[in-house]
Amino acid sequence: MKGLSLSRGLLVLLLLWTLSAVIDAGSAERGASGRRRGGSGGGAGEKRRKLHRIQHGQCSYTFILPELDGCPGGGSPSQTQRYGGFQGGPGVVQRDSPPADSEWSAQKLQHLESTMENNTQWLQKLENFLQKNNRRDVANMQSHVVHNQTATMLEIGTNLLTHTAEQTRKLHVVEAKVLNHTSQIEIKLLENSLSTNKLEKELLLQTSEISRLQDKNRWEMVLFSQHLCKQRCHVWSRYRKWATKPV
């Protein structure tokens, strides 16, 4: 991302430099036109102006050139006469201002063209560099996203394992409590069973003792009845003897 920001900054600086070069060229052209208008003397308003247009790709450049008046031969002056060529022999003074301005404009235009071509090449290089950086950044971002997703999945897995271990520990604790409670219930049931068996044995012993006592009492009652019968019989026999004894 830092390389991408630096590349964008270089692109902005290059565009600003190109714009400043074009503005400087326009300013220089306007200055040259002003000098041509100022150098025409008092008859500048009377001289005719000629527009010279140059088409370069999608851009067109328009130059205002002064029309030379008062030249012999009539009609439109030739290219040599217009730009300071020899006219009428070596004694004629050359007019070098228009050729200098034209040459300067052509040189400036050529300089601008070379500058634009150079800037275009730099822009293409910068575009390729940005595309490579974008691909590298996309690959880095993808690897970073994959790394983040892997780290997130590992964290989620760790949390799940921790939660599962905690739940397992809680289940073991609950299971131990249930087993302990079940063992206590079983012990109490065994104790109750032993107590019940003991009570049953005691009840059986008491029942047998009661039966034995009942049998003993019944036998004693029989013996007592027999003894009582014997006593009655004895008393009755003595009474009969006494009653039958003569007075």
Q: Residues 132-182: pLDDT tens digits?
A: 877 877 777 778 888 888 888 999 999 999 999 999 999 999 999 999 999
Average the pLDDT over each of 9-18, 132-141, 209-218 and give the range with the smallest value.
9-18
Q: Rounded to two decimals, what is the model's pTM?
A: 0.32
Model pLDDT, residue 223 = 86
| CA proximity to 149, closest of 137, 157, 138, 160 | 157
Phi first, then psi: give them for residue 39, nearest 5 degrees: -80, -5
Model pLDDT, residue 159 = 92
Q: Decide: helix, strand or coil at residue 133.
A: helix
- Binned at pLDDT 50, 70 and 90, residue 82 comes out as very low
At 119-130, the pLDDT tens digits run 888 888 878 887
Length of the chain in residues, anyone?
A: 247
> Pairing mode, if any, of strands 59-66 and 49-56?
antiparallel
108 versus 21: the higher-pLDDT residue is 108
218 pLDDT exceeds 80? yes
Q: Which residues contact 122 (CB under 8 A, 6 or more apart)?
A: 14
Rounded distance between C-alpha atoms, residue 38 and residue 31, angstroms: 10
Given a contact cutoff of 8 angstroms between Cβ atoms, the answer to whether 87 and 72 are in contact is: yes
The partner residues of 66 in beta bridges, in order of sequence, read 49
The pair of three-digit structure tokens given for residue 176, joined into one six-digit string: 């131990």
74 pLDDT exceeds 80? no
Name the percent of the chain lying above pLDDT 90.
23
Given a contact cutoff of 8 angstroms between Cβ atoms, the answer to whether 32 and 101 are in contact is: yes
222 versus 203: the higher-pLDDT residue is 203
Half-sphere exposure of 54 (CA within 13 A, CB side): 11
At 17-70, the pLDDT tens digits run 666 666 666 665 555 555 555 554 444 444 455 666 666 666 766 766 555 554
